[in-house]
Amino acid sequence: MSLEIDALSRHFGGLLAVDRVSFTVSEGEIFGLIGPNGAGKTTLFNLITGMIPPSSGQLRFRGRVLTGLRPSQVARAGLARTFQNIRLFPNLSVRENVLVGLHLQGKAGSLASLLNTPGAARSERSAQEQADQLLSLVGLLGRQRDPASSLPYGDQRRLEIARALATRPSVLLLDEPAAGMNPSEKQQLSAFVKEIRRRFDLTVLLIEHHVPLVMGLCDRVAVLDFGQLIALGKPGEVQQDPAVIEAYLGGS
């Protein structure tokens, strides 16, 4: 039992964006979240990461209740995410973006780093090395000093993933990681997600529109429509579900 989403709801004024959604994501699973535009997928991600509080319901990770925690506390509990519209720190360099993610690993205090003690300097060097390892993993080695905003779109996505990985998460939430990628990049993405799951022992939760990617990558898929969970199961089963076909093809 890894991530338990228990009757989570969120309304904005009169609009129910997420309506009593419940499902459980197992350790090590790659779990897809699909549904038409406006189905509440990103809102669900925001609820899980603590960016907005739920109107009702509960979120547990490895038995610990996460509901009501601040985003930084949720991050320290082991959840990291990326955004559909990439949110890097555009004025920081590529490496600095990753270093910010490594912030949690620091041992020396901020005062020590202000005084540049030997311990702090050592810890800074090791942080730089870790950052470069992550950058090499996502294929951005050699661009460490460039401003993040100067990267092409696809590279920015990879940098955002590297930054999320820098926090050493147990659960990685990817919001439309393939958006804007060309077919060959999408192909590589699938392999890449499986590779990082293996290497970092991750549970992955991803929102994706690109059906072949979801089918080939995800162990299980949940389908949201108008904030409600309308289907849950293996990709092949869900694809045949009449409710899902109706949601995608019916009027909306």
Q: State which amino acid sits at residue 152.
A: P
Nearer to other proteins, 106 or 233 (CB): 106
Q: How far is the CB of 237 from other proteins (least distance, A)?
A: 33
Q: Which of 116, 136, 150, 252 binds other proteins (CB under 8 A)?
A: 116
- Region at 233 (left for phi over 0; alpha for psi -120 to 50; beta for the rest): left
Q: Which of 167, 170, 190, 203 binds other proteins (CB under 8 A)?
A: 167
Beta strands in the chain (DSSP E): 3-12, 15-25, 30-34, 56-61, 64-65, 79-81, 171-175, 203-207, 220-225, 228-233
Residue 59: strand, helix, or coil: strand
User: Which of the stretches 116-124, 192-200, 203-211, 217-225 binds other proteins when contact is defined by CB under 8 A?
Assistant: 116-124
- Tell whether residue 87 is a contact of other proteins (CB under 8 A): yes
- Within residues 212-231, the interface with other proteins by CB under 8 A covers none
Instruction: Dump the DSSP string for 135-174.
Output: HHHTT-TT-TTSBGGGS-HHHHHHHHHHHHHHT--SEEEE
- Within residues 90-109, the interface with other proteins by CB under 8 A covers 90-92, 96, 99-104, 106
Q: How far is the CB of 44 from other proteins (least distance, A)?
A: 15
User: Which of the stretches 11-19, 110-118, 176-184, 202-210 binds other proteins when contact is defined by CB under 8 A?
Assistant: 110-118
CA pair distance 156, 238, nearest whole angstrom: 32
The site map against other proteins for 24-63 (x = CB under 8 A) is: -------------------------x-x------------
Q: Which helix (H) or strand (E) holds 234?
A: none
Please tell me what DSSP assigns to residue 14: T
Helix, strand, coil % (nearest 5) of the chain?
Answer: 45, 25, 35
Report which of 160, 216, 200, 181 is spatially closest to residue 78, judged by C-alpha positions: 200
Token representation of residue 144: 């460490």
Q: How far is the CB of 104 from other proteins (least distance, A)?
A: 4
- Tell whether residue 239 is a contact of other proteins (CB under 8 A): no
Q: Which residues bind other proteins (CB under 8 A)?
A: 49, 51, 70-72, 74-76, 80-81, 83, 85, 87, 89-92, 96, 99-104, 106, 110, 113-114, 116, 120, 124, 127, 163-164, 166-167
